Structure 1
């Protein structure tokens, strides 16, 4: 896996990936952009938009717990 890049003090996702935060601990996950085509992942993003909105949000926060998200990405991989 490519190393995380620093940009202005922030870690950047490798090309072709994006970052989401999950759970009460706000765990950071780097996921491939191909997940955006998956209907289940799209529903999760829609739920995030409903729950958190996009106003001034610099991060994508997904409304699920970490074990559930881990199972989801295992299924999508």
Structure 2
């Protein structure tokens, strides 16, 4: 299994909330680019990427959609 990008967030806080929501549901998730996001400080320039295993993608997307944690777009 490989990691796939589930969503991109302009806010580190929202990305962390989404990650914790998935982990609470038993889905492993990891954030990419969070250090660079904090360094640059501009969300649209370097968004934080939420990654999950490709086998968990559909379930993770449904959970975040139900909780209103998917970014617009």
Whether TM-score is above 0.5 comes out as no
Q: Based on CA coordinates, which of the two structures has the bigger radius of gyration?
A: 1
TM-score, normalized by length of structure 1? Answer: 0.32
TM-score, normalized by length of structure 2? Answer: 0.33
Higher relative CO (Cα under 8 Å, sequence separation at least 6) belongs to 2
